[in-house]
């Protein structure tokens, strides 16, 4: 059923052409918003444009470049005449760049993982705040974190720079929330557990990891999360329903944060 929590609002989703970002963009559109999504893959961008229809526009760009998010926000202003909310989803595992356990991490793994997950987010948040202040409007920023920021999995998910980046996102978001509260600009974090996305293919195809997840994320039968499991929380944070909420971290993790995940015979 269509609801109207975001009626008349304009939302920009950085990393919004696939997976968690596209699912959230669809949910925002269903809640009444116009949406600009940003992604770097032209094919995914074309598919996202088809999915969103008249409620959406797509900007093709690399979130690790400082100009990309500003350009996406400008597209929102030029097309829909306003800008109300930013959701930063762009990021990903740095494993292929050389992230991993600390003693194995390469220089490239450090640089690429931080650039993809933390620097890109700082750029998008900066662009959003500049726009809110220039427009003289209240606004809201939602950042994608991870339960790995505070609840590690040493056996299966030992990418230490990624964990550092996600922990950095929490510190950065809380600091910004404190500073910009007087402007009624809100900052919050949503932190998923393991969710079925392109980034999770390695885990989703590993039966040992799936056994671990059945214990670590015991809700809903111990399954891997789905992108749509986060959508209601996203709409909440981007709407006036959360107008008195800032500087908070919400884990949407199937119970990861409160479960041991110790394997046993099933």
CATH of the domain at 17: 3.40.50.720
Predicted pLDDT at 177: 98
Give the whole-angstrom CA distance, residue 169 versus residue 153. Answer: 19
Structural contact between residues 266 and 214, judged by C-beta atoms closer than 8 angstroms: yes
Answer whether residue 257 is part of any domain.
Answer: no
Question: φ, ψ for residue 76 (rounded to 5)?
Answer: -60, -45
pLDDT at residue 249 above 50?
Answer: yes
Strand ranges, E, within 61-167: 85-88, 139-144
Residue 149 lies in a domain: yes
Structural domain total, the chain:
1
In what side-by-side order are the strands of the sheet with 185-192?
Answer: 56-60, 34-39, 10-14, 85-88, 139-144, 185-192, 249-252
Question: What is the predicted pLDDT for the residue at 262?
Answer: 73
Residue 103 has pLDDT above 60, yes or no: yes
How do residues 27-76 score in pLDDT, each as one tens digit? 999 999 999 999 999 999 999 999 999 999 999 999 999 999 999 999 99
Q: Domain span at residue 159? A: 10-252
Q: Is the CB of residue 69 less than 8 Å from the CB of residue 216? A: no
Question: Is position 123 annotated as part of the catalytic site?
Answer: no
For residue 1, the model assigns a pLDDT of 44
pLDDT of residue 261: 82
39 token code pair: 């992604």
* Rg for the chain, CA atoms, rounded: 18
Measured distance CA(1)–CA(120) in Å, rounded: 34
Indicate which residue of 87, 123, 162, 180 is catalytic. 162
The rounded distance, in Å, linking the Cα atoms of 235 and 246 is 15
Torsion angles phi and psi, residue 160, rounded to 5: -75, -30
DSSP secondary structure string for all residues of 189-257 = EEEESSB-SGGGHHHHT-HHHHHHHHHHS-GGGTPPB-GGGGHHHHHHHHSGGGTT--S-EEEESTTGG
Asked whether residue 108 is assigned to any structural domain, the reply reads yes
Domain-located, residue 30: yes
Task: Judge whether 131 lies within some domain.
Answer: yes
Q: Rounded distance, CA 10 to CA 76, Å?
A: 7
Q: Is 170 inside any structural domain?
A: yes
Angle at 136 between CA 135 and CA 137, to 5 degrees: 90
- pLDDT tens figures, 104-162: 999 999 999 999 999 999 999 999 999 999 999 999 999 999 999 999 999 999 999 99
Please tell me the predicted confidence (pLDDT) of residue 245: 98
Mean pLDDT (whole number) for 213-219: 95
- Does any domain span residue 237? yes
Confidence category of residue 202, pLDDT binned at 50, 70, 90: confident
Q: Is residue 261 part of a domain?
A: no
User: 128, 86 in Cβ contact below 8 A?
Assistant: yes
Torsion, CA 91, CA 97, CA 99, CA 100, rounded to 10: 120
Q: Is the pLDDT of residue 266 over 60?
A: no
Tell me the pLDDT tens digit for each residue of 160-196: 999 999 999 999 999 999 999 999 999 999 999 999 9
Looking at residue 263, its pLDDT comes to 57
């Amino acid at each position: 059923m269509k609801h109207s929590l975001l009626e008349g609002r304009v939302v920009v989703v950085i990393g919004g052409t696939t997976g968690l970002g596209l699912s959230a963009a669809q949910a925002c559109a269903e809640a009444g918003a116009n949406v600009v999504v940003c992604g770097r893959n032209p094919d995914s961008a074309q598919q996202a444009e088809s999915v969103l229809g008249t409620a959406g526009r797509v900007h093709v760009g690399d979130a690790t470049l400082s100009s990309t998010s500003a350009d996406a926000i400008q597209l929102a202003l030029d097309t829909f005449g306003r800008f109300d909310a930013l959701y930063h989803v762009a990021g990903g595992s740095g494993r292929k760049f050389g992230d991993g356990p600390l003693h194995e991490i390469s220089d490239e793994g450090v640089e690429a993982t931080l650039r993809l997950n933390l620097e890109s987010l700082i750029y998008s948040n900066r662009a959003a705040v500049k726009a809110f202040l220039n427009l003289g409007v209240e606004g809201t920023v939602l950042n994608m974190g991870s339960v790995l920021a505070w609840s590690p999995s040493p056996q299966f998910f030992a990418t230490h720079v990624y964990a550092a980046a996600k922990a950095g996102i929490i510190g950065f978001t809380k600091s910004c929330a404190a500073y910009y509260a007087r402007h009624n600009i809100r900052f919050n974090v949503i932190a998923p557990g393991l969710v079925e996305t392109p980034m999770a293919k390695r885990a989703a195809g590993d039966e040992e990891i799936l056994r671990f997840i059945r214990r670590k994320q015991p809700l809903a039968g111990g399954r891997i999360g789905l992108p749509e499991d986060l959508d209601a929380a996203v709409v909440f944070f981007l709407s006036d329903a959360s107008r008195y909420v800032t500087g908070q971290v919400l884990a949407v993790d199937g119970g990861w944060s409160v479960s041991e995940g110790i394997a046993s015979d099933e």
